[in-house]
Amino acid sequence: MADTNQTKKIMLSGIQPSGELTLGSYLGAIKHWPARTEEFDCYYFMADLHTLTVRQKPADLRKRTLTQLAAYIACGLDPKKNVLFIQSHVPEHAQLAWVLNCYTMFGELNRMTQFKDKSIKNNDNINAGLFTYPALMAADILLYQADCVPVGEDQKQHVEICRDIASRFNSIYGDVFKVPDPYIPPVGARVMSLTTPTNKMSKSDTDQNGCVYLLEKPEDIKRKFKKAVTDSDTENCVRYAPKEKAGVSNLMQIYSAFTDKSFADIEREFEGLGYGAFKAAVGETVADSVAPIREKTNELLADKAYLENIYREGAEKASYIAHKTLRKVYKKVGLVPRF
């Protein structure tokens, strides 16, 4: 279990560097992370091992991994207050994943919606890793005895299977793992596509006009918002109604997240102005708001020695905790200790 001297709860989260960070990732997760350092001991990692379920270009993966680390820091994650590391730098993730594979049922894995979704999108590469990734995800979480894992409403299934695996292991070997809870942010948890507002914004979207990237150039961000789908009604007014006006409501949520204005305030602000003026204003606000993040990220990427120091220190801190958990697991299942 976690150290008895620990006063804060542990929170852990990782994002795959399989593509650029999206506006959805920022508003739904990363934007809220810096404020949690007062309440939690936070571990944030680049989930590069998880990306391997889909073929990656090695040079691109390395670049995206470092860019994501720099973006985390640019978004306000202080490396002195948070443990920032690259998943593959802590081999205990893969080691524990194999053990947990042996305590994860085939039927549980077969029910995972992400496996079904990715199998459809990558039907020429339905590999074993794609099927068993929940065991690696459980290892990510359980290694650090995490109390809670921030996820979107649509990702609760990942934490649920982790809880099942941990509970099964604990029922056999005693109190080994802390059983984590999902932590769902009260706001900003689900940003939708700009072109298909009934779908979640995703970097894997085939229509790239639907996805806004955190580090995009301002002119590209504004262009995408100008093209954003609103509604086919004749009303042409800005009003929050998620079911009837999914496109406008999505834009209102994004605008609200950056301005802290209520939906009622937004409706009053754009009363009589129509969709065109509203979309332009949202694009301008988003572009201006994320510009400092883009600039800071590029500044950090230019200092490779600094980033290297951050991820090495992060790996050392993470490995210290992870190794203690793995050593206990190995002992419980009967593996002979190396030393």
* One domain, residues 294 and 180: no
* One domain, residues 35 and 64: yes
pLDDT band at 1; cut points 50, 70, 90: very low
194 assigned to some structural domain: no
Mean pLDDT of the chain: 91
* One domain, residues 175 and 30: yes
Domain count along the chain: 2
Distance set, CA 84 to CA 47, 59, 81, 159, 310 (Å) = 11, 21, 9, 21, 7
Q: Of 118, 178, 222, 245, which residue is the catalytic one?
A: 118
CB contact set of 143 (below 8 Å; sequence gap of 6+): 90, 92, 93, 96, 321, 322, 325, 326
Q: Which residues form the domain of 179?
A: 9-184+303-333
Task: Please name the amino acid found at residue 55.
Answer: R
- The pLDDT value recorded for residue 185 is 64
Q: Are 293 and 299 in contact (CB under 8 A)?
A: no
CATH classification at residue 284: 1.10.240.10
Give per-residue pLDDT as tens, 231-288: 776 677 899 988 889 999 999 999 999 999 999 999 999 998 989 999 999 999 999 9
* One domain, residues 84 and 230: no
- The pLDDT value recorded for residue 2 is 41
Token readout for 261 is: 């204005």
Q: Of 203, 296, 317, 332, which residue is the catalytic one?
A: 203
* One domain, residues 42 and 168: yes
Active site residue 200: yes
* One domain, residues 78 and 40: yes
Give per-residue pLDDT as tens, 184-227: 766 555 789 999 998 888 877 778 899 999 999 999 999 999 99
Q: Which residue has the tokens 């009589």?
A: 272
Among candidate residues 237, 236, 278, the one with its CA nearest the CA of residue 261: 278
Q: How far apart are CA 110 and CA 131, in angstroms?
A: 7
* One domain, residues 172 and 127: yes
Mean pLDDT of 290-319: 97
* One domain, residues 126 and 163: yes
Give per-residue pLDDT as tens, 87-144: 999 999 999 999 999 999 998 988 887 776 776 777 777 888 889 999 999 999 999 9
Q: How far apart are CA 206 and CA 57, in angstroms?
A: 19
CATH classification at residue 84: 3.40.50.620
Q: Which letter does DSSP use for residue 163 in this model?
A: H
Token readout for 192 is: 């939708």
97 assigned to some structural domain: yes
Active site residue 203: yes
Looking at the DSSP bridge assignments, the partners of residue 40 are: 9
Q: Are 55 and 289 in contact (CB under 8 A)?
A: no
Q: How far apart are CA 251 and CA 305, in angstroms?
A: 39
Q: Are 75 and 297 in contact (CB under 8 A)?
A: no
Q: Of 9, 31, 200, 245, which residue is the catalytic one?
A: 200
* One domain, residues 254 and 225: yes
Active site residue 217: no
* One domain, residues 136 and 19: yes
